[in-house]
Amino acid sequence: MPACLPFGLNLSKRAGALRQGWSFDRLRMSGDGKTVSGHGVAACALILGLISSTTHAADDKKPAAPKAALSVVVTTPQRADLPLRVRANGNIAAWQEASIGTEANGLRLADVKVNVGDVVKRGQVLATFAPATVQAEVAQNKAAVAEAEATLAEAAANAQRARGLKETGALSESVINQYMTAERTAQARLESQRALSQMQQLRLGQTQVLAPDAGVISSRSATVGAVLPAGQELFRMIRQGRLEWRAEVAATDMASLKPGMPVRITPVEGALIAGKVRIVAPTVDPQTRNGLVYVDLPAPGPARAGMFARGEFEIGSGFGLTLPQSAVTVRDGFSYVLRVGADSKVTQAKVAVGRRVGDRIEITGGLDATSRVVAAGGGFLADGDTVRVVDAASAIK
C-alpha cells in the first residue's frame, strides 16, 4: 500500500488528515523525501476514501434497545383503613348437652315417642315403661297404709283408756306404759307405710321419661322391650337447641378479646355465620399455649354440632399499605411482587403480607409506599425482564 501519510498516523487519523484538506503534492514517502507519483496519489486517495466510509459506518452503529417481554400496568401501594381481626379455628359444639336416662329399676321399656332431631318441650313425654308392676305395688301399699291406720286407731284408744285409769290405780304403771308405747309404735308404722306409698307413687311417675328442658334430641339409645337398670341413658339432648363455637386462640391474642365482640364464623364449605363472644376462658392450655373462647351461635342456623369452623374476631381497625391481590404472587410458600425500575426492568421483591379485604391485600414489609409494581400478570415475568408500561385504559383495549 502506498505510504500516503506519515507512518506515525493510524488509518483513522490518515483519513482525518485527508478530510482536513492535505494537498496531494504534500504527501511524501517516508524516509526519502520524494514526491509520490500521480498513480500513487490516486491509489492513496481511493484507500483513504474507503477507510473514511468504513469509519463513518462504524460510528453510526448503536446497540439496539432490549425488546419488552410484556406490556404491564403498574401500581403503587395505597394506604387504607383495614379492620383488625384475630383468626382462630375450633369446633362447633352444643352449648349444654343433657343426658336423659331412666330412674326406675328393672322395668320394661314399652314405648319410645321421639327420635333423633326432634324438637321437644320441657316436660314432654319421651318414652314410657310398662307400669303394671308398679301399679300393683302402689295398690298393695295403699292397703298397708289402711291397716296401719286401723292399728293406730286401736292403739290410740287403748292408750286413752289407760291414761284415764292412771289416777284410780286400777292399772299398774308398767301396763299403762305398754299401751302408750303401742300407740307410738302404731303411729310410726303408719308414717312408714305412708312414706313407702309416696315412694311407690314416685316410682309410678318414673315410668314416664320426661324432657328436663326444651331442646333438640341429638342421640337415642332407647330400644322398645329392653329391661333397663336405673341410670341407663336413653337420650341425649341439646338444651334449648343452642350451639357454640369453641375457638382456640393464641395466648397472645386473648387479651384483646372481650365478651360481646362480633365474630364471623365459616364452617368448612358452609355459609358465613355471625356470632358473639360469650366467655373468654380464664386459663390457657400449657401444651398448645392456646385458650378457648366460647362464641354463641344463632338458633336455628346452618351450623351443626361437631363441625370444624374457622372464624375472625373483629377487634377494631387500623391503617396499612395495600396492593391488589393480583400484584402478589406466591412461590415456594413466600409472597413476591415485581418492582418496576426507571429502566423498565422488573426486579422480584419478597414481601410480607397481612390482612385481606375484598380484592386488596395488606403489605406489612418489604416494600415502601413509592415503589412501582406490576399490577397483574407477574406470573408471566421473570426477574430482570424488560416491560412496557401502559395505563389501565390501554391495557383494557
- Predicted confidence at residue 150, as pLDDT, reads 93
* Distinct helix (H) and strand (E) counts, the chain: 6, 22
pLDDT at 42: 45
- The full length of the chain comes to 397
Q: What pLDDT digit, counting tens, does each position of 52-92 carry?
A: 444 444 444 555 556 666 788 889 998 888 888 889 999 99
The burial of 52, by beta-carbon neighbours within 10 Å (0-12 exposed, 13-18 middle, 19 or more buried), is given as middle
One domain for residues 366 and 250: yes
pLDDT at 128: 95
| Number of domains, the chain | 3
Q: Is residue 78 part of a domain?
A: yes
Residue 387 sits in the same domain as residue 360: yes
> Based on the domain organization, do 274 and 372 belong to the same domain?
yes
- Whole-number pLDDT of residue 287: 93
Secondary structure of 182-215 in the HEC alphabet? HHHHHHHHHHHHHHHHHHHHHHHHCCEEECCCCE
- 168: in domain: yes
Question: Is residue 175 located within the same domain as residue 75?
Answer: no
Q: What is the pLDDT of residue 331?
A: 87
Are 194 and 341 part of one and the same domain? no
* CATH code for the domain of 333: 2.40.30.170
Both 107 and 191 in a single domain? yes
Going by their DSSP bridges, the two strands 373-374 and 387-389 should be labelled as unpaired
Q: Confirm if 48 and 27 have CB atoms less than 8 A apart.
A: no
pLDDT of residue 11: 43
Judge if 276 and 361 occupy the same domain: yes
Check residue 280 and give its pLDDT: 95
Residues 304 and 361 in one domain: yes
CA pair distance 187, 160, nearest whole angstrom: 14
Which sign does the torsion angle of CA 295, 299, 302, 307 carry? positive
Least Cα distance to 324 among 75, 83, 84, 85 occurs for 75
In a domain, 271, yes or no: yes
Residue 333 lies in a domain: yes
Q: Which helix (H) or strand (E) holds 129?
A: strand 125-129
DSSP SS3 for 372: coil
Distance CA 42, CA 38 (A): 6
Q: Tell me whether residue 314 is in a domain.
A: yes
Domain boundary among 194, 210, 226: 210
The verdict on 391 and 299 lying in the same domain is yes
Tens place of pLDDT per residue across the chain (397 aa): 444 444 344 444 444 444 444 443 443 434 444 444 444 444 444 444 544 444 444 444 555 556 666 788 889 998 888 888 889 999 999 999 999 999 888 899 999 999 999 999 999 999 999 999 899 999 999 999 999 999 999 999 988 888 877 777 777 788 888 888 999 999 999 999 999 999 999 899 999 999 999 999 999 999 999 999 999 999 999 999 999 999 999 998 998 999 999 999 998 777 889 999 999 999 999 999 999 999 999 988 888 899 999 999 988 888 889 999 998 998 888 999 999 988 888 898 999 998 888 889 989 898 888 889 998 887 788 888 888 888 765 555 5
Q: Is residue 343 part of a domain?
A: yes
In this structure, the answer to whether residues 201 and 256 fall within a common structural domain is no
Asked whether residue 55 falls in the same domain as residue 67, the answer is no
- Residue 126 in any domain: the answer is yes
Q: What CA–CA distances, in Å, run from 113 to 110, 129, 231?
A: 10, 12, 19
Q: Is residue 309 part of a domain?
A: yes
Largest interatomic CA distance in the chain = 194
H helix or E strand, kind and range, residue 138: helix 132-165
- By DSSP bridging, strand 227-228 and strand 329-331 are unpaired
Q: Name the strand (E) or helix (H) holding 379.
A: none
Give the structural domain span for 35: 11-60
Q: Could you tell me which of 202, 198, 206, 205 has the C-alpha nearest to residue 142?
A: 198
Q: Are residues 268 and 332 in the same domain?
A: yes
At residue 290, the pLDDT reads: 94
